[in-house]
Amino acid sequence: MNHPYDLKNIEPIKALEDIYNYINKNNFKINKLVVVTKTHSHHLLQLLYDYGHRDFGENRYQEARDKFPLVKIKPESPIIGHHIGPLQSGSARNIPDIFDWVHGVGSWHALKKLANASLKKYQLTQKKIYYLIQLNLTRETTKLGGMYLEEFEEAINKNPELIVENEGLVWKGFMTMGPSNGDLYITRKIFQQLRNIRDKYLPEGELSMGMSGDWKIALEEGSTILRIGSAITGNRKY
Ligand SMILES: *Cc1c(COP(=O)(O)O)cnc(C)c1O
């Protein structure tokens, strides 16, 4: 199951470079490109780390906890871990130990747990956690997570304290995904909607949108954080 990735395996690096070249050539500006490495071994992270990449996305706490420490890093330049799956109340308290960014906040209850854990972590290490509220704009009932827009708007208008921040936890923006059928017309509409929501409620905020099948559309609609897996890593090993 574990591919021994080494520097002869240049395909992920070539794919990453191609994406950066596309971004630069077309004058898009992004703040982050997260390479999603779920199901892949630490050898792949090592390859990308040695190349200079730092932002990695994982959707399972345990998998990331076991994998990240296997990558040999320069202590002054650590991995920046992105938790990209739905944030669960059960694992929220462990998140600050290994992640820096949380993209999938879709429940106020789980966010409260994350806030408590982040504050504790901050008091010990000064580490800050950045989170994004995930909106389910397709209204599909899938396990992909995210809250409906009305739940978010009700909170921000009536109970803004639900959108917790503290010394160790900062709300940085929004995340969403296109429809599961991959319809690119609807995907674009969803991305436009998320940008409008961001402009209204957190104008300086991040827009985490764009995956392997729709990252070019996401760039056109103003994405600031791409989360790209298989287009860089090859197929996942489920
Ligand atoms: C797996 C995953 C990605 C990456 O998906 P690809 O289609 O392989 O690029 C991005 N975001 C989330 C939330 C994911 O679960």
Task: Tell me if 238 is assigned to some domain.
Answer: no
40: exposed, middle or buried (C-beta count within 10 Å: 0-12, 13-18, 19+)?
buried
C-beta separation of 107 from 80 below 8 A: no
Q: Mean pLDDT, to the nearest integer, of 128-145?
A: 93
Q: Mean pLDDT, to the nearest integer, of 183-211?
A: 98
Ligand 1 pocket residue status of 121, Cβ below 6 Å: no
pLDDT of residue 10: 85
- Domain carrying residue 193: 6-233
Ligand 1 pocket residue status of 145, Cβ below 6 Å: no
Pick the atom of ligand 1 nearest to 103's CA. Answer: 13
Q: Mean pLDDT, to the nearest integer, of 22-41?
A: 97
Say which CATH number the domain at 174 has.
3.20.20.10
Ligand 1 pocket residue status of 85, Cβ below 6 Å: yes
Per the structure, the count of domains in the chain is 1
pLDDT in tens, 104-121: 999 999 999 999 999 999
Measured in Å, residue 157 CA sits from the centre of ligand 1 at: 31
Measured in Å, residue 36 CA sits from the centre of ligand 1 at: 6
Measured in Å, residue 162 CA sits from the centre of ligand 1 at: 27
Task: Tell me if 1 is assigned to some domain.
Answer: no
Q: Cβ of 212: how many Cβ atoms within 10 Å?
A: 16
Measured in Å, residue 123 CA sits from the centre of ligand 1 at: 32
Task: Tell me if 57 is assigned to some domain.
Answer: yes
pLDDT of residue 1: 39
Which of 63, 84, 103 has most ligand 1 atoms within 8 Å of its beta carbon, as the pocket-test mutant? 84
pLDDT of residue 2: 45
Q: Spell out where the chain has E strands.
A: 32-36, 55-58, 80-83, 101-105, 129-134, 169-175, 206-208, 225-228
Q: What is the residue with the minimal CA distance to atom 11 of ligand 1?
A: 227
Measured in Å, residue 161 CA sits from the centre of ligand 1 at: 30
**Element holding 151 (H helix, E strand):** helix 149-158
Residue 141 banded pLDDT, cuts 50, 70, 90: confident
pLDDT of residue 234: 87
Task: Tell me if 62 is assigned to some domain.
Answer: yes
pTM of the model: 0.95
Query: Is pLDDT above 90 for 235?
Result: no
Query: Is pLDDT above 60 for 176?
Result: yes
pLDDT of residue 24: 98
Q: What is the residue with the minimal CA distance to atom 10 of ligand 1?
A: 227
Task: Tell me if 80 is assigned to some domain.
Answer: yes
Q: What is the C-alpha separation between 101 and 204, in angstroms, rounded?
A: 17
- Return mean pLDDT, the chain: 95
pLDDT of residue 236: 73
